[in-house]
């Protein structure tokens, strides 16, 4: 459940990120993927983000696994990603992450929305969204 009474919305579970992204993107029909560590299944992840280059890398604080998401590898070399802290509680560096895909009529992804939830204070947010202007997008979508 999302709590909308504060300046920044908070959620008590990672599922709330989907509702947050629905409103943030103004799109009822996003297609969602949960992002978890492929090695240990942990879903409280550190995020390295460059908002200018639209790249994001996750790192699992439990087992150390890193993963550059989706098509961000292509832009990673030119990027200056920074480790993100929650802007509200100012201490926590771990987030639940979901990706929302907006699709074209042919099924390819047109736009990617990243959404996150601070595991400490529950604040919901989005560091990134970016356009995809190629197809097919099947491989890109599965690279999470």
Q: Which is nearer to Zn ion, 57 or 137 (CB)?
A: 57
Angle at 61 between CA 95 and CA 50, to 5 degrees: 55
* Contact map string, positions 71 to 110, toward Zn ion, x by CB under 5 A: ---------------x-xx--x------------------
Q: Name the H helices within 5-118.
A: 16-25, 73-76
Which residues lie closer than 8 Å to 121 by C-beta, 6 or more apart? 10, 86, 88, 89, 92
Q: Which is nearer to Zn ion, 85 or 110 (CB)?
A: 85
Interface with Zn ion in residues 123-142 (CB under 5 A): 123
- Cβ atoms of residues 11 and 124 within 8 Å: yes
Q: What's the number of CA atoms in the CB half-sphere (13 Å) around residue 141?
A: 17
* Contact map string, positions 24 to 43, toward Zn ion, x by CB under 5 A: -------------x-xx-x-
Q: Which is nearer to Zn ion, 21 or 117 (CB)?
A: 117
**Binding interface with Zn ion (CB under 5 A):** 37, 39-40, 42, 60, 62-63, 65, 86, 88-89, 92, 118, 120-121, 123
């Amino acid at each position: 459940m999302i709590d909308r009474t504060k300046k920044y919305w908070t959620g008590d579970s990672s599922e709330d990120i989907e509702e947050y992204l629905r409103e943030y993107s103004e799109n009822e029909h996003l297609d969602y993927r949960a992002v978890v560590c492929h090695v240990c299944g942990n879903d409280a992840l550190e995020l390295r983000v460059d908002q200018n280059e639209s790249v994001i890398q996750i790192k699992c604080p439990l087992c150390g696994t890193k993963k550059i998401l989706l098509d961000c590898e292509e832009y990673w070399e030119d990027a200056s990603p920074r480790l993100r802290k929650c802007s509200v509680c100012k201490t926590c560096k771990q987030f639940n992450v979901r990706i929302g895909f907006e699709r074209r009529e042919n099924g390819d992804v047109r736009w990617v929305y990243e959404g996150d939830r601070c595991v400490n204070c529950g604040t919901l947010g989005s560091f990134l969204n970016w356009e995809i202007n190629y197809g097919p997008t099947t491989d890109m979508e599965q690279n999470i």
